[in-house]
Chain A
Amino acid sequence: MKTDYKKIAVDGLITSNPTFKLVLGTCPTLALTTMAMNGIGMGLAVTFVLIFSNILISLLRKVIPNQVRIPAFVLIIATFVTIVRLLLDYAMPDLYDSLGLYLPLIVVNCIILARAESFASKHNVLASACDGLFTGLGFTVALTLMGAFREILGSGAIFGVKLWDFQIAFFSSSSGAFFTYAIFIAMFSLISGAVIDAKKRKAYGKINELKQENAVVFDNGGNE
């Protein structure tokens, strides 16, 4: 059975986008999108944990008995989150400080557990790694977009560079976080719905064309 890597990529980024479609892992989404830089940092940390935990769980999927799969998954995920913490404290202390409490909270981030449960425990290593990569990328892009929106409107800056003095402090507050999340989910559904509708219409048009051709053949041929 050949794995369709393109489908995995599109799934992780668009059709099963963890933030906008599956609405998983909302705690860091709401708390860390005040600045776009935090969003990118968190997204990359989650991507790292996703890829490696998916690989390891996929390697061990025949070995772990069904009754203890959740504790085993959480053990593995916690190991990799600790590795990320050690890495960040060593190499990027600024990012470590700005992520603060949300870095150890990645262990209970629903995205990682959901992908492990639904994908990594059933597919081979390469497909699982791919899925982890693209899901993490989807999460990172979502967080960065929301962070940029909130930062531009709420602090008049982008990636730390101050643009202008005008600020609407509502978007930097927690109520603004929920509101921005709602706007983005609505926009995402609108755009992805429109794209899927256009694809369906195109496919339907093709089927109609084929039907027309076959109808002509039937009319003339009769039996054949």
Chain B
Amino acid sequence: MENSNGILVYSSSPHKKAPHTTKWIMLNVLAALIPTSIMGIVFFGLNAFLLIIISLASSVAAEFIYYLIAGKPFREIAKDFDYSSCVTGLLVALTLGTNYPLYAPVFGSAFAVIVVKLLFGGTGKNFVNPAIVGRIFIFISFQSVVGSWLAPSIASVTGGTLSTGATTLVNILEYNTLPSLSVWDLLLGTGLSGCIGETCKLAILLGAIYLAILKIIDIRYPLIMVGTCGLLAVALKGFDFAYFLPSILTGGLILGAFFMATDYATTPNTKVGNYVYFALLGLLCAGLRQATNMETVSFAILLMNLFVPLIDKFILNRPFGHFKKKKERESK
């Protein structure tokens, strides 16, 4: 605010604001997802590109149409537009396999944006993660139209065999066979089939480190989730540590942990609450995976999102200036 000489400016707090707005955060998340998207398109070709574009377009269109029906003028919608629905659309596309039909992300993104986010009050008021719900919606609805996973266009770098059909994860869980690809292959995603965004773990980790440097996400929490998932998976396989890295690096665990479980509106408010939340997430992922022999990261995130209000109710921050009564008695 302009401060002319000798005249006091009277205003209420806050007096000092950081330059971060929701728009800034969302644009940075989009930027962090660019390496993942590019690697997805490189591995899986034109279909992946079309799915991403259609998903982005339908999520943005869903938000605009919702506000237009609600009576908001178009200029105001465009002015207030924070790119959160873009992030939802992109994440929904990244969790699909390439052989989903092209109309699937339209319904999934629209459902995610309208039902989970807008009907409950808009940005920051969603009660579960919208991208997860979109992904589950598409999974339930269009599973019958989809065939088996497609192979990536770049084969294994270190000489392993291509893994298609039943994904590597199902092989580990059900038949206890370690994947024939080495850890580098699993990290880079070469020779590994799966959803568009989840195969190249290196790109996901680069994006996550970028967000951590900008302090948009706290890098400890997803690491806790990934770690506990791996440890429980090892424990369930008879404490054989050879399963640790393959369990973490197959399936959608890394993408889910770093980009979906860290959504602001659906994580607890306190540090201890967050530790509990992400640890439970990791345990739930590994446990459900072993019990059902399929990829359960999205269902685990959805379930734990519903428990966040409970965690917030019982794990509270210490109020400012509060001290325990026992210490008061001791000091007297």
Contacts and interface: CB of A to CB of B under 8 A. Distances in A.
Helix, strand, loop or mixed for chain B's interface? Answer: helix
Contacts of A171: 141
B137 interface: yes
A170 B140 CA distance: 6
Nearest to A154: B141
17 contacts: A167-B141, A167-B144, A168-B107, A168-B141, A168-B142, A169-B140, A169-B141, A169-B142, A169-B143, A169-B144, A170-B137, A170-B140, A170-B141, A171-B141, A173-B140, A175-B140, A179-B115
B145 to A, nearest CB: 8
Contacts, number: 17
Interface string B136-155: 01001111100000000000
- The listed residue with most A CB atoms (<10 A of its CB), out of B107, B137, B140, B142, is B140
Nearest to B107: A168
A168 B115 CA distance: 16
A171 B140 CA distance: 9
B237 to A, nearest CB: 32
- The listed residue with most B CB atoms (<10 A of its CB), out of A169, A171, A175, is A169
A169 B108 CA distance: 12
A169 B143 CA distance: 8
Interface of B: 107, 115, 137, 140-144
A170 B138 CA distance: 8
Contacts of B144: 167, 169
Nearest to B138: A170
A175 B140 CA distance: 10
Contacts of B143: 169
A167 B144 CA distance: 9
Interface string A142-177: 000000000000000000000000011111010100
A33 B6 CA distance: 74
What size tier do the contact residues of chain A reach? under 10
Nearest to A179: B115
A175 B141 CA distance: 11
Contacts of A179: 115
A170 B108 CA distance: 11
Contacts of A175: 140
A68 B109 CA distance: 55
Nearest to B137: A170
Interface in A165-201: 167-171, 173, 175, 179
Complex A-B, nearest 8 residue pairs according to Cβ-Cβ distance, in ascending order: A170-B141, A168-B141, A169-B141, A170-B140, A170-B137, A173-B140, A169-B140, A169-B144
Contacts of A169: 140-144
- The listed residue with most B CB atoms (<10 A of its CB), out of A170, A173, A179, is A170
Interface in A84-140: none
Nearest to A173: B140
A168 B138 CA distance: 9
A8 B143 CA distance: 47
Contacts of A170: 137, 140-141
Nearest to A183: B115
A170 B143 CA distance: 10
Contacts of B115: 179
A63 to B, nearest CB: 51
A168 B137 CA distance: 9
Contacts of A168: 107, 141-142
A168 B101 CA distance: 12
B133 to A, nearest CB: 10
Given A169-B143, A175-B140, A179-B115, 8 more contacts: A167-B141, A167-B144, A168-B107, A168-B142, A169-B141, A170-B140, A171-B141, A173-B140
A150 to B, nearest CB: 13
A186 B245 CA distance: 48
Interface string A15-38: 000000000000000000000000
A175 B115 CA distance: 13
B12 to A, nearest CB: 39
A5 to B, nearest CB: 40
Nearest to B115: A179
A101 B107 CA distance: 34
Interface in A12-62: none
Nearest to B143: A169
A155 to B, nearest CB: 11
Nearest to A153: B141
Contacts of A167: 141, 144
A170 B142 CA distance: 8
Nearest to A168: B141
A157 to B, nearest CB: 15
